Amino acid sequence: MIMGSWAGRIPALREGMQISHSALSFVLLCGGLGAVISYPLSSRMMARFGGRKTLFYAGLALLAVLVCIGLAPTVPLLMLAVLMLGITASCFDVGVNAVATKLEKTSGESKLSTLHAWGCGGGLAGATLGSLMASMQIVPSTHFLLVAIPVAFVLWLGYELLEAEDIGQKIEKKSFSLPRGPLALLGALGFFAAMSEGSIADWSGVFLKDHFGVTDGFAPLALSAFSVMMLITRLVGDKLKDKYGARRLITLGAIVSAAGLFFAVLAPNPYLALAGFAVAGLGLALVFPFVFSAAGKEGPVALAGVATMTYSGSLMGPPVIGSLAHGFGMQAAMAFIGILSVMIAVVAGRTSMLK
């Protein structure tokens, strides 16, 4: 919900601060950079506190950073706040996935797709709320403060109810750990998926606003359409995996995603473009859960390596899309994300570790 709220108000923040496409790409780059450099901090938190306390402390910090983004008066301070957003969000992500992976191993059942579905639900709620706030002419600073207060309570309640041991977990010490051999293909899938999802979250609303001239209230609906289909697909993803296998689902899903994104690029009106983004959400939904599940089976070092490549994808996405938008227009930038989906299909078809 926090990240959906942030992504849903990017068009409003860009317009309010008069930020160009190229400048916005560097603002978003700070978020990816924060994700990459967060690894030493998250590893120390995991070693000292364990997953449950890590997600709680990082979640509180993430809420504080969200408020700071809304209050940032200049572009440099906004970049600093977004850098902290990447750091705190990644630490939170490590804590949540550590608890989730342990639950999956303990139960012996595939659960990550269902658990990731709740992440989509939060993103959908945040983006939809952003659309409502924008339509009511509520500025991002007020919006983020109104989100932070109740979400802080929900975070504390979830922390208290979560059944997980507060025991430090030893994980890879290196700041960067790149996988090799078959694991490199999993890392490549994570890399392309992170570029795709992050770019859609950050730029789909800007695309609708610039290409079709939609309002600030309508622009976040692109992320909402993307997230709702991703949510629905992930809710049934574990059952589909048992029946059809992870590799086939990711390969076919990536082809569907490419078709949806190309359709959005060529759509004659914003309503059909929303349908294209929804199809893209359906196609990309199962990449992250199945890739992290496969990497987690190989141990914490393998999971750390795949996560590093994934975070690198989130680092590369914003400047690439921003540069394409600045030089060739938003349609070309969105088409490039479709090409990334084609690359996911090609790599997934050659990955033996997906089962």
Angle, vertex CA 189, rays to CA 108 and CA 106, nearest 5: 10
Stretch 99-109: mean pLDDT: 80
Contact 355, 245 (CB under 8 A): yes
The b/e string for 12-45 (b: 16+ C-beta within 10 A; e otherwise) is bbbeeeebebebbbbbbbbbbbbbbbbbebbbeb
Residues in the chain: 355
pLDDT for 170 equals 58
Report which DSSP code applies to 36.
H
Are 58 and 45 contacting, i.e. CB atoms less than 8 angstroms apart? yes
pLDDT for the residue numbered 175: 45
CB 14 within 8 A of CB 5: no
> Is 184's pLDDT higher than 70?
yes
pLDDT over threshold 60, residue 169: no
User: Would the pLDDT of 228 be above 70?
Assistant: yes
pLDDT at 26: 83
Helix (H) or strand (E) holding 253: helix 246-266
Give me 94's structure tokens.
Answer: 């490590």
Q: Average pLDDT for residues 73-81, to the nearest whole number?
A: 93
Topology (CATH) of 2-163+179-349: Growth Hormone; Chain: A; (1.20.1250)
The SS3 of residue 53 is helix
Of 57-61, 92-96, 233-237, 331-335, minimum mean pLDDT range? 92-96
Q: What is the pLDDT of residue 268?
A: 93
Within 13 Å and on the Cβ side, how many CA atoms surround 157? Answer: 6
142-156, 160-174, 255-269, 338-352: lowest mean pLDDT where? Answer: 160-174
Tokens of 191: 């890399």
Q: Give residue 276's identity as a one-letter amino acid code.
A: G
Distance CA 79, CA 207 (A): 21
For the cut 80, the answer to whether the pLDDT of residue 308 exceeds it is no
Tell me the pTM.
0.77
The three-state (H, E, C) secondary structure of 164-212, written as one string: CCCCCCCCCCCCCCCCCCHHHHHHHHHHHHHHHHHHHHHHHHHHHHHHH
Look over the chain and give the mean of its residue pLDDT values, rounded to a whole number. Answer: 86
CB atoms within 10 A of CB 345: 19
Given a cut of 80, whether residue 310 has pLDDT beyond it is yes
pLDDT score of 304 more than 90 = no
Determine the pLDDT at residue 258.
Answer: 97
**If 0-12 CB within 10 Å is exposed, 13-18 middle and 19+ buried, where does residue 80 land?**
middle
Q: What percent of the chain has pLDDT over 90?
A: 39
- Weakest-pLDDT range from 263-272, 331-340, 344-353: 344-353
| Nearest-angstrom CA–CA distance, 253 and 284 | 6
- Return the DSSP state at 297: T
CA atoms lying within 13 Å on the CB side of residue 99: 23
Q: How far apart are CA 7 and CA 140, in angstroms?
A: 11
Q: How far is residue 53 from each of residues 152, 159, 178, 268, measured CA to CA in Å?
A: 14, 8, 27, 49
